[in-house]
């Protein structure tokens, strides 16, 4: 495909887990993918796996002041950004009374502030072309109360609120903004959170009508749908990809 016509996506945290699955889906659909993460080796392995349409850019998204420069260097190198997937995130599982202000701040900085700042910078360049797609990744932690994930819940709830706030401001100028809320998905992050916690594991399965964990590829399919023309009249939605977990009793 002609590189001028080819879409370019920036996927934060695209080097592993759900982000990597999103990149795999996008590459299969001939979308060029710029993967952002801190770990250069992880990014190298991911781009080797994905092939010539994938490029790793090593950057710590909590360095907010560097984000305008990051976005303009991506624009310069690849011509345009059509899709932004705010997927990077960190988890912290701890009783709330033991969470320090520093720990809380670190989770919020990564999972919330970086989503805002990246979206703002990318929206600026998308607005010049009056087209673009931003997809945020939230979590079941913002659909109902989950114990021991106070900072993560705060940040993911903010991501869902920001999705709606961004959608009303940006959709009139051609930028759709949507959010995917994955349920319990089989990745390193979730097996870390579920491992050694049989009670939590039992709860997860008992309230998931489909009775299993989801796969990163299933999340990626939903993200691709929201990034594609098949969803051209959809903006501001939070789409659970959770086997019914959010409505399960
Ligand atoms: P992973 O830990 O596999 O992926 C997280 C990615 O984020 C990594 O590639 C990591 O790269 C990147 N990242 C983290 N911090 C930074 C940072 N400061 N700067 C740049 N990149 C960063 O987790 P998952 O794939 O499971 O999670 C992906 C998203 O899905 C997250 O937002 C998570 O909250 C969400 N989610 C996951 C669920 C699950 O069950 N797995 C359920 C619900 C939501 P590096 O280490 O190289 O920086």
pLDDT digit string, tens, across residues 106-120: 999 999 999 999 999
Local confidence band at 228 (pLDDT 50, 70, 90 cut-offs): very high
- Under DSSP, the state recorded for 54 is E
DSSP secondary structure string for all residues of 234-247: --S-EEEESTTGGG
**Ligand 1 centroid to 153 CA: how many Å?**
15
Residue 190 lies inside a defined structural domain of this protein: yes
Residue 219 resides in a domain? yes
Whether 151 is covered by a domain: the verdict is: yes
Q: Is 1 a domain residue? A: no
Residue 3 lies in a domain: no
Position 119 in a domain? yes
Q: What is the pLDDT of residues 151-196, one digit of tens each?
A: 999 999 999 999 999 999 999 999 999 999 999 999 876 776 677 7
| 78 among known catalytic residues | no
pLDDT at 193: 66
Ligand 1 atom having least distance to the Cα of 185: 40
CA 196 to each of CA 21, 200, 208: distance values in angstroms, whole numbers, following the listed order: 26, 9, 20
| Statement: residue 51 has pLDDT above 70 | yes
Among candidate residues 78, 144, 148, 152, the one labeled active-site is 152
- Name residues contacting ligand 1 (CB within 6 A): 12-13, 15-19, 36-39, 42, 60-62, 87-90, 110, 137, 139, 182, 184-185, 187-190
Helices (H) and strands (E) in the chain, counts: 9, 7
Q: For the packed helices 101-108 and 150-170, what is the interaxial angle rounded to 10 degrees?
A: 30
Each residue of 4-41: pLDDT tens digit? 689 999 999 999 999 999 999 999 999 999 999 999 99
Give 245 Cα–ligand 1 centroid separation in angstroms: 21
Count: domains in the chain: 1
pLDDT at 74 > cutoff 80: yes
The band of 69, judged by pLDDT with boundaries at 50, 70 and 90, is very high
Residue 144 has pLDDT above 70, yes or no: yes
**C-alpha–C-alpha distance, residues 75 and 227, integer Å:** 19
Place of tokens 């709860």: 203
Q: Is 58 within a domain?
A: yes
Distance in Å, CA 111 to ligand 1 centroid? 9
Domain limits at 242?
A: 8-247
- 83 forms beta bridges with 9, 133
> How many CB atoms are located within 10 Å of the residue 45 CB?
15
Residue of 10, 11, 18 to mutate, ligand 1, most atoms within 8 A of C-beta: 18
Q: Which pLDDT score, from 0 to 100, does residue 30 have?
A: 98
Q: What is the CATH number of the domain that holds 157?
A: 3.40.50.720
Percent of the chain with pLDDT over 70: 97
**Would you state the pLDDT for residue 188?**
76
Residue 2 covered by a domain = no
Q: Where are any strands of DSSP class E within 90-244?
A: 132-137, 175-182, 238-241
Decide if 207 contacts 249 (C-beta within 8 A).
Answer: yes
> What pTM was estimated for this model as a whole?
0.97
Give the pLDDT score at 3: 62
Q: Please give the pLDDT value at position 249.
A: 87
């Amino acid at each position: 495909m002609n590189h001028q016509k080819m879409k370019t996506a920036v996927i934060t945290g695209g080097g592993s887990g759900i982000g990597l699955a999103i990149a795999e889906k996008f590459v299969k659909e001939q979308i060029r993918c710029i993967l952002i993460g801190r770990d250069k080796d992880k990014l190298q392995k991911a781009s080797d796996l994905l092939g010539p349409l994938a490029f790793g850019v090593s950057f710590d998204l909590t360095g907010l002041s560097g984000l305008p420069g990051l976005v303009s260097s991506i624009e310069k190198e690849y011509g345009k950004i059509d899709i932004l997937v705010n997927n990077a995130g960190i988890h912290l599982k701890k009783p709330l009374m033991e969470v320090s202000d520093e720990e809380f701040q670190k989770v919020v900085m990564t999972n919330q502030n970086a989503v805002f700042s990246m979206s703002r910078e990318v929206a600026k360049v998308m607005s010049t072309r009056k087209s673009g797609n931003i997809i945020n990744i939230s979590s079941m932690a913002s659909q109902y109360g989950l114990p021991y994930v106070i900072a993560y819940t705060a940040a993911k709830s903010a991501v869902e609120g920001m999705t709606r706030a961004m959608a009303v401001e940006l959709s009139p100028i051609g930028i759709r903004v949507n959010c995917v809320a994955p349920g319990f998905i089989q990745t390193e992050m979730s097996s870390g959170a579920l491992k050694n916690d049989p009670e939590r594991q039992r709860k997860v399965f008992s309230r998931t009508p489909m009775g299993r964990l989801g796969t990163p590829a299933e999340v990626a399919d939903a993200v691709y749908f929201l990034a594609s023309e098949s969803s051209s009249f959809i903006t501001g939605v939070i789409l659970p990809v959770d086997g019914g977990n959010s409505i399960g009793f």
